Amino acid sequence: MINIDAKNHVRGTSIYLDDIQEIHGTLFAQPFCAPVAHAKINRINLEPAMAMEGVVAIFTRSDIPGANQIGGIVPDEPLFAEDEIHFWGQPIGLVVGTSEQICRLARKKIEIDFSELPVVTDPRKAARNDSLIVPPRTFNTGNVEDAWEQCEHIFSGRVEVNGQEHLYIEGQGAYAWPKEDDSIYIASSTQGPTAVQRTAAAVLGLPMHKVEVNVQRLGGGFGGKEDQATAWAVMAALAAKKLQKPVKISLHRMDDMMMTGKRHPYSSDYRIGLSKELKILAYEVTHYQNAGAAADLSPAVLERTLFHSTNAYFVPNVRATAYSCRTNLPPNTAFRGFGGPQGKFIIESAIARAASALKVPADHIQKRNLLSEGDVMPYGQKMTEALAKETWEQCAREFDLEKIRQEINEFNATNPRYKKGLAVQPICFGISFTNTMMNHARALVHVYTDGSVVVSTGAVEMGQGVNTKLLQVAAERFGISSDRVKLESTNTLRIANTSPTAASAGADLNGKALEIACDRILSRLKKAAAEKLNAGEIKLANERVVADGEISDMDWEQLVGLAFSKRISLSEHAHYATPNIHFDKKREKGHPFAYHVYGTAIITAVVDCLTGTYEIDRVKLVHDCGKSMNLPVDNGQIEGGLVQGIGWLTLEELLYDEKGKLLSNALSTYKIPDMYSVPGEITIRHYETEGHELAIKKSKAVGEPPLMYGLGAYFAIRNAVTAFNPSADLAINAPYTPEKVLMDLYKKGGGQEKEAVHEAKQTELY
Amino acid sequence: MLHFVLNDREVKTAANPATTLLDFIRYDANLRGTKIGCREGDCGACTVLLGSVENGEIRYENCTSCLTPLANAHGRHVVTVEGLNMSELNRAQEAMVSHSGTQCGFCTPGFVVSLCGYALNPDTSLSRTAKDAVDGNICRCTGYKSIERAADQLQEELDNLGEAKTVDKLIDKRFIPAYFRDIPQLLAQIERHAFKHRGKQPVGGGTDLYVQKHDEMPFMEVAFPFKHQNGTRIWKEGDRCHMAPLCTASDMMKAPFLNESIPNWYDYMKLVSSNPIRNTGTVAGNLVNASPIGDLTAMLLALNAEITLKDPGDQERTIPLRSFYLDYKKLSKTPEELISRTSFDIPTTGKFNFEKVCKRKYLDIASVNAAALLEEKNGVIFKASFSVGGVSPIPLYLHKTSEYVKGRELTERTILEAAEVLQSEISPISDARGSAEYKRLLASQLFKAHFLNLFPSQIKMSELV
């Protein structure tokens, strides 16, 4: 089934936040923010701005009736700056006026007098200063100390992996208006309506039942609207409440990029030990996460980095430590993969380094260490229905890995200017919020007397197709045409206390709740039908009642009419909580994930060794969707996620200067993939299984995992560079921009600064 | 009074001519299908079509409405996604739906508009395909493969129409709505000269001004000094190419005589920005912008272009482009002077090459760009002119390097020695487009690339490393 929104999308009739028809008298607002990354505010002069025609009000922290606090996990983030500024772009206040343009001109007239304080942008420096968001955490398994003794080869080094701007094409925004009785309505472009509701209530000093949050759809989220849509919604609500007028905020792109956090940059140290047979015996890693100026979701992101620090490999002895470091960057936040991609990238880098030193293809090491059924991960979960080896085997066989390798070797032998590189990228990604208490959801179903059905859940549609999958669930459950079912907006009055739509879990959690709701209505309908038709077993199929195996005269509409006339409820509100998951943070052990998603990709790149430019030639992958309930939607997530991952590791370069100012602050300086820069070929195969019981309709979560195939792009390019410049010791510092590639191509071999250290006791392979 | 056709109806408005077409469409005309993504022409979410009658024929081009001053809609047909809707989906919409080319949908109207614009004007002569029509549209969800498949389907359906893709045929086959038939007649009634607006800030295409002065432009007193000009924007006289002030990069890209004379001309021009920007941005604007990294500037420096400057008293003077740039954004012209013509000799015997490296190959600003015009006979280079961008405060013509190469043998040794001279002429700085060290290395590499590309049988890569 094609995405149910597609027809409206192509006609331009889908309604996003900025498309809501403005109510008469609507005011517009724009935040004004810190022009420096760390400073003490001495004085703010609003007068010149207030004097402008069209400016209605300017709000700062002193205008907040409730708490000036929007931090979700840790209360460390004010809505408007207090006495100190902690990052460049931190909101200080909100200008409200009769037009957006007036607000934008007015805010330039606000004078902020401040005294600069030292700026820290380096997470390691923050860690040295003991400036941490939360205490560090360590996942331990086996005994790393003892294991080094048994290792034939030990390598250690440092890896840098930069952040990533979400670049949802729809920028952040919100539209709020006052309702009677001191209540407020907020239209928000958020992945987390409940977070907006809870935060707005706290800031406005209202009980949550007076704040209604509605989300129609998002023009892209990718995690960037999980926590970071909240501030704008709360600001709009604050202004609407204070002025008793509708107030709308739409951030311009440069403001959006400057004021919001991104995927976390990581700087990590690893040490990896291998046996003579290339088995990884020990892995030690220390991650320095650049959290930015406030916690936001960083502690949770950090946790997922630890969960995924060994990717799809089984390593018997592991010690993984992670520091969440407070710096003067915007608070970094959720982004598709949520710390997992960084954790995986570090171990892939360690393997790549070991492979270079040992002069073996990295995939020889990768393949020998893939996890198997029954293996216990460092966090204590015993892997069941493990498919790491299976997807690898199918991928290598179906796409003929050895032939690709041979072709590349031949190409490189005869081509002086262009070199090709190959990488194999396995993935294993855990599905569930790692915070167990978030794994529950609710669904509300009404069947109307004409047989039409409306569904509300806590899931937010942002292009991932969750509403399409939910519609399929309801239509199938009731045995009716999908035309009868409508998916409603996500609204906190209809569905309360939601978890954000995140962690790839939206369809699973909300879909399972929806199944329960449908089934309850269904069982009442069946009972009514059974009584009426005097039958034992009732089924619904193709809009008809099937009584004891016989298609009856009663259709869906008649059945609904019958039930209503019998005063049977045609509505249901159901709750679902993922079973069997738990995690003990004291021991750092448990069973945090409902299941895992697996897959393997083969990626090839070609580098122009004269100019340092490159193309990702081909990606061929085998992905584990379980039993896909919607191939167009799932394949769309695979292609889109893959390309986003490739973008992160190749073109997309976040740049802050030493004063903490974002230099890559627009689409002209921050480049995401365009149509020409994506792989020439993407071939997707599915690893066929019966699917997983805990996945909706046995169709596994697909939002995040495919992004991590993109890691292979880095290593494919690296291998091509090595083919041209085999003696150079290459640093691993993602993204691999054409600049870094060219510098590496012409880097002199060996050299002073050793990037990786080979600590082997015996070096016959070296 | 501005007068144009918006979708299927005429618009006469006293709205501020300096406001963007995007804001007018969304908030005055209340057509919300056109989206705001970046307001700097880099994402294509706000793409609309502009149709103009030229030589009795209506032609449509896509443009980013965020950088288009409303005044530039005067006398034209503005088509938004709503103007492409029919009771059923049109062919482009159908292709996008059936191939799942839309996920969150926010960029989708822009893609649909670009594809429909292509259907209206396929440039088959230049081996352009439907896929190339969406080079200015960015999508963050799909990874583009599904959109590519949709574009391929559309291309196939267009190919099936046969040679003459008349409006009637396109309407009949559901590529566009029926009202398109009536547009030329509606446009013919608009008085082209009706709109006059004389302020201090001259605007051509607006593609740079509306980025640089994003907030201020709607409040400025703008002038559209060339708006009244009609007729050919690029032409050939003998072996000389001339461009009028409103000549766009697209005009230059598609000029048949340039494509005939300069091998790979179309591919070089494809490296410049994107379709919608090339359709709007003027060559003259690119020159006066004086960006040290301007692509057209680099090309025209190597081609030894001349510019004619005209003052308000209609006094004209012609100077070589190579003497136009004095220092960073400092030009050899008075504030009142405007470029009234740009001309250069079309290479007939010389070989031209253009190189550009950026993070992303297309729709990106170069880290370093470089152009060369070389003429070789019997193994000796007797004409050489090189330019390079991004490594100096001004778009740089490499006087010394060019002099050095002239008269020398075409050998790897000459190239390596000349690259040393080049290094003495440049002074790159570190910024968002790369470190100074990188730009130095890259400038030499692109210099070598000229020779490798122009003389593949004589010059070996292995000898240049």
What does the block give as tokens for A246? 């509708």
- Cα separation, A410 vs A192, whole angstroms: 52
Write the CA distances from A456 to A286, A438, A448, A485, integer angstroms: 43, 19, 14, 11
What value does the mean pLDDT of chain B take? 95
CATH of domain A440-577: 3.30.365.10
Q: Is the residue at B205 inside a domain?
A: no
Separation of first and last alpha carbons in chain B: 62
Q: How many of the other CB atoms lie within 10 Å of CB of B135?
A: 22
Question: Do the chains contact at A169 and B219, CB–CB below 8 Å?
Answer: no
CB-count exposure of residue A689 (10 Å: 0-12, 13-18, 19+): middle
Q: Which residues of A112-123 are buried (b: 16+ CB within 10 A; e: fewer)?
A: bebeeeebbbbb
- Inform me whether the pLDDT recorded for A756 exceeds 70: no
What value does the mean pLDDT of chain A take? 97
As a whole number, mean pLDDT of residues A69-83 equals 97
Q: How many of the other CB atoms lie within 10 Å of CB of B123?
A: 15
Of B177, B193, B209, the residue that ends a domain is B193
Counted residue by residue, chain B has a size of 465
- Cα separation, A640 vs A623, whole angstroms: 14
Alpha-carbon gap: B38 to the closest alpha carbon of chain A (Å): 5
- What is the pLDDT at residue B123? 67
- What is the pLDDT at residue A759? 65
Question: Do the chains contact at B104 and A742, CB–CB below 8 Å?
Answer: no
- Inform me whether the pLDDT recorded for B254 exceeds 60: yes
- Structural class in CATH, domain A27-118+172-250: alpha beta
- Cα separation, A293 vs A77, whole angstroms: 8
Residues 6+ apart with CB under 8 A from A104: A30, A252, B215
Q: Are B114 and B64 in contact (CB under 8 A)?
A: no
CATH number of the domain bearing residue B450: 3.30.465.10
Q: Are B207 and B41 in contact (CB under 8 A)?
A: yes
DSSP symbols for B244-261: -TT-BHHHHHH-HHHHHH
Same domain, yes or no: B269 and B169? no
Q: Is the residue at B207 inside a domain?
A: no
Helix or strand holding residue A393 (H, E): helix A388-398
Same domain, yes or no: B169 and B306? no
- What is the pLDDT at residue A577? 98
For chain A, the structural domain boundaries read 27-118+172-250, 266-434+586-758, 440-577
Considering A704, A753, A759, A764, which one is annotated as catalytic? Answer: A704
- Cα separation, A531 vs A737, whole angstroms: 70
Q: Is the residue at B88 inside a domain?
A: yes
Most confident of A178-187, B115-124, B228-237: A178-187
Residues of B with CB below 8 A from A611's CB?
A: 355, 357, 442, 445-446, 449
Question: Do the chains contact at B143 and A651, CB–CB below 8 Å?
Answer: no
- What is the pLDDT at residue A107? 98
As a whole number, mean pLDDT of residues B174-201 equals 87
Same domain, yes or no: B187 and B239? no
CATH number of the domain bearing residue B173: 3.10.20.30
- What is the pLDDT at residue A753? 43
Number of domains present in the structure of chain B: 2
- Cα separation, A705 vs A505, whole angstroms: 12
- What is the pLDDT at residue A766? 30
Separation of first and last alpha carbons in chain A: 54
Q: Distance from CA of residue A540 to its chain's centroid?
A: 38
Residues 6+ apart with CB under 8 A from A412: A419, A420, A720, A723
Nearest CA in chain A to B26: A19
Q: Tokens 């583009």 belong to which residue?
A: B144
List, in sequence order, every residue forming a beta bridge with A175; answer none if it has no partner: A187, A248
| Helices A230-243 + A193-204 axis angle, to 10 | 40
Q: Tokens 């709109």 belong to which residue?
A: B195
Same domain, yes or no: B177 and B298? no
What does the block give as tokens for A60? 């700062």
- Cα separation, B201 vs B189, whole angstroms: 29
pLDDT confidence band for B279 (50 / 70 / 90)? very high
Q: Tokens 């963007």 belong to which residue?
A: B20
- Cα separation, B54 vs B248, whole angstroms: 15
Same domain, yes or no: B186 and B262? no
- Inform me whether the pLDDT recorded for A762 exceeds 50: no
pLDDT confidence band for A751 (50 / 70 / 90)? very low
Same domain, yes or no: B126 and B247? no
- What is the pLDDT at residue B390? 97
Q: Which residues of A137-168 are buried (b: 16+ CB within 10 A; e: fewer)?
A: bebbbbebeebbeebbbbbbbbbbbbbbbbbb
Question: A364, A278, A358, A363: which is closest to A764 by C-alpha?
Answer: A358
Q: Which amino acid is at A636?
A: G
Of B34, B105, B361, the CB nearest to A677: B361
Counted residue by residue, chain A has a size of 766
List, in sequence order, every residue forming a beta bridge with A132; answer none if it has no partner: A325
Same domain, yes or no: B184 and B288? no
- Cα separation, A406 vs A424, whole angstroms: 15
Q: Is the residue at B18 inside a domain?
A: yes
- What is the pLDDT at residue A331? 98
- Cα separation, B410 vs B420, whole angstroms: 16
Cis peptide before A735 (omega within 30 of 0): yes
pLDDT confidence band for B394 (50 / 70 / 90)? very high
What does the block give as tokens for B404? 């050095």
Residues 6+ apart with CB under 8 A from A480: A451, A453, A540, A543, A556
Nearest CA in chain A to B83: A11
Question: A356, A412, A415: which is closest to A749 by C-alpha?
Answer: A356
As a whole number, mean pLDDT of residues B403-411 equals 98
CATH of domain A266-434+586-758: 3.30.365.10
- What is the pLDDT at residue A467? 98
Q: Is the residue at B216 inside a domain?
A: no
Q: Is the residue at B382 inside a domain?
A: yes
Share of chain A above pLDDT 90, in %: 98
- What are the tens digits of pLDDT across the range A429-441? 999 999 999 999 9
Q: How many of the other CB atoms lie within 10 Å of CB of B3?
A: 19
As a whole number, mean pLDDT of residues A475-489 equals 98
Q: Is the residue at B211 inside a domain?
A: no
Alpha-carbon gap: B32 to the closest alpha carbon of chain A (Å): 6
pLDDT confidence band for A750 (50 / 70 / 90)? low
Name the least confident of A173-182, A608-617, B225-234: B225-234
Radius of gyration of chain B from Cα atoms?
A: 23
- What is the pLDDT at residue B39? 97
Segments forming the whole domain that contains residue B448 = 234-463
Intrachain domains A27-118+172-250 and A440-577 with the same fold: no
- What is the pLDDT at residue A757? 65
Same domain, yes or no: B51 and B174? yes
- Inform me whether the pLDDT recorded for A513 exceeds 60: yes
Same domain, yes or no: B336 and B434? yes
Residues of A with CB below 8 A from B15's CB?
A: none
Residues 6+ apart with CB under 8 A from A578: A432, A439, A440, A508, A509, A512, A594, A694
Residues of A with CB below 8 A from B138's CB?
A: 169, 667, 672, 674
Respond yes or no: is residue A82 known to be catalytic.
no
What does the block give as tokens for B22? 């995007």
As a whole number, mean pLDDT of residues A668-689 equals 97
Residues of A with CB below 8 A from B460's CB?
A: 416
Residues 6+ apart with CB under 8 A from A565: none
CB-count exposure of residue A549 (10 Å: 0-12, 13-18, 19+): exposed
State the Cα torsion B386-B387-B388-B389 to the nearest 10°.
-170
Residues of B with CB below 8 A from A674's CB?
A: 135, 138, 144, 360, 362-363
- What are the tens digits of pLDDT across the range B83-96? 999 999 999 999 99
Nearest CA in chain A to B138: A674
Q: Is the residue at B229 inside a domain?
A: no
Nearest CA in chain B to A642: B143
Question: B408, B434, B437, B410: which is closest to B423 by C-alpha?
Answer: B437
- Inform me whether the pLDDT recorded for A51 exceeds 50: yes
